[in-house]
Amino acid sequence: MTDFNPAGFRQHFPALSQGQCYLDSAATALKPQAVIDATVNFYSQEGATVHRSQHRAAQTLTEQYEQARLQMAQWINAPRNENIVWTRGTTESINLVAQSWLRPRLLPGDEIIVSQAEHHANLIPWLMVAQQCQAHVVTLPVDQLGIPDISTLPRLLSSKTRLLALTQMSNVTGAMPDIARAVELAHANGTPVLIDGAQGVVHCAPDVKQLDIDFYAFSGHKLYGPTGIGVLYGKTELLESMSPWQGGGKMLTQASMTDFTPQAVPHRFEAGTPNIAGVIGMSAALKWLKTVDMQAAEKHAQHLAALAEEQLAQIEGFRSFRVQHSSVLAFDIAGEHHSDLVALLAEQAIALRAGQHCAQPLMNALGISGTLRASFAPYNNEQDVTRLVVAVKYALDLLAD
Ligand code: PMP
């Protein structure tokens, strides 16, 4: 670990040399050169697949692939490598739990508690499985700031509750609910917990063992890794109790025309040729991240969001939805539609996102139709803040004409 040097950190990201002001890291993070190099190297030098062929390159690559699983297990303090399932991302990880773990256990009338602050990826899979089994999704409400109100959990939990699904960090407000308390309350009721770590893992890698989290889902692309690779962490006994979700090559130990025997975990959940380049790139991202003081990096990103909030607050009608010192700054400006503003900002090479951020129930709870969202990462700098503020003022001038 080294001290955090914002200018030095920024230099690792070739995409920033294109001149755009990138404030969309909550959607996806830019990639450091180390990840790009590992991916290019894989495609240019390593002609092989994993867990299949016998030639030397294939064997070496299989070792790298499994070594990356160990790296990932260590990143979140999973007890064993086998607790890590490679998936396409958070969305696939959550759907895997919904279909393979929950669905066979869900009876008519059963309940799944889901917070109102969830990204659709941590809502729709539960609605789907609830519809399939005549079960119900029960809302864990948010407070006035949009933070999941964990104090309501004791009255929501009951003998009918089969799962609690909760975000580690909202992609809109940046709220980080007290997941330790939520897990404690749910477990006292005998209810397993799935935490959506898509945003949270970037800002604070959890200790899944210490927090006693049952399932933890996240995507590589927000953690500086490639797109199309993600992780499902599951406790050993839970993963072992799950049947495969997708069938295909290498998820089985024997097959006949009438039957098959699934592999041990995690391989029974990795049917077909996996995203090897994604795993290699993810491994490079984790290796590179080890050289970064993540806490200091996070503080830098939070400082920039605070600065932007402070400067934009001088604009009449500005309203911020940012909570808990987050690096995510969702905001709106009274009388202006976010879609108009984002289009004018895009013309000035300011990359941010506007809309409902795949969190319509949260928008409803906050009583809004959408927001602009500037999400800061450690590779941003104060110049980016200035560019954003100047661009917003310019866009407002244009709209006023
Ligand atoms: N949950 C949260 C909180 C997110 O921000 C996202 C990505 N926007 C997801 C889930 C879904 O991630 P992915 O699209 O990578 O599967």
pLDDT tens for 204-253 read 889 999 999 999 999 999 999 999 999 999 999 999 999 999 999 999 99
Banded pLDDT at 46 (limits 50, 70, 90): confident
CA dist 88 and 99 (Å) reads 16
pLDDT tens for 174-197 read 999 999 999 999 999 999 999 999
Cβ proximity of 245 and 96 under 8 Å: yes
Count of beta carbons in the 10 Å neighbourhood of residue 115: 28
ipTM of the complex, rounded to two decimals: 0.99
Is it true that domain 36-289 has CATH number 3.90.70.10? no
The one-letter amino acid at 115: S
- % of the chain surpassing 90 pLDDT: 93
For the chain, give every domain's residue range: 6-30+293-400, 36-289
Banded pLDDT at 2 (limits 50, 70, 90): low
Ligand 1 centroid–CA 221 distance in Å is: 10
Q: What is the pLDDT of residue 214?
A: 98
Cβ proximity of 154 and 374 under 8 Å: no
The mean pLDDT of 154-172, rounded to a whole number, is 98
With a 6 A CB cut-off, is 173 part of the ligand 1 pocket?
Answer: no
> Has 204 been annotated as catalytic?
no
CA dist 263 and 271 (Å) reads 10
Q: Residues near 234 by Cβ (< 8 Å), separated by ≥ 6?
A: 83, 85, 97, 101, 214, 215, 242, 265
Q: What is the pLDDT of residue 206?
A: 92
Topology, domain 6-30+293-400: Aspartate Aminotransferase, domain 1 (3.90.1150)
> Residue holding tokens 């995409």?
15
| Annotated catalytic residue within 21, 133, 204, 358 | 358
Banded pLDDT at 19 (limits 50, 70, 90): confident
Q: What is the pLDDT of residue 325?
A: 95
**Which of 150, 172, 153, 141 shows the shortest CA–CA distance to 328?**
172
Banded pLDDT at 54 (limits 50, 70, 90): confident
CA dist 179 and 196 (Å) reads 11
Q: What is the pLDDT of residue 401?
A: 75
By most ligand atoms within 8 Å of CB, the mutation choice from 24, 96, 171 for ligand 1 is: 171
The mean pLDDT of 306-318, rounded to a whole number, is 98
Q: What atom of ligand 1 comes closest to residue 222's alpha carbon?
A: 15
Buried b (16+ CB within 10 A) or exposed e, 305-335: bbbbbebbeeeeebebbbbeebbbbbbbbee
pLDDT tens for 247-293 read 999 999 999 999 999 999 999 999 999 999 999 999 999 999 999 99
Ligand 1 centroid–CA 262 distance in Å is: 29
Q: What is the pLDDT of residue 20?
A: 87
The mean pLDDT of 103-119, rounded to a whole number, is 98
**Which residue puts its alpha carbon closest to atom 8 of ligand 1?**
27
With a 6 A CB cut-off, is 327 part of the ligand 1 pocket?
Answer: no
Q: What is the pLDDT of residue 275?
A: 96
The mean pLDDT of 115-131, rounded to a whole number, is 98
The mean pLDDT of 26-44, rounded to a whole number, is 97
Cβ proximity of 173 and 330 under 8 Å: yes
pLDDT at 1 over 70: no
Q: What atom of ligand 1 comes closest to residue 26's alpha carbon?
A: 5
Q: Are strands 111-115 and 136-140 parallel, antiparallel or unpaired?
A: parallel
Helices first, then strands: H and E counts in the chain: 15, 15
pLDDT at 51 over 90: no
With a 6 A CB cut-off, is 302 part of the ligand 1 pocket?
Answer: no
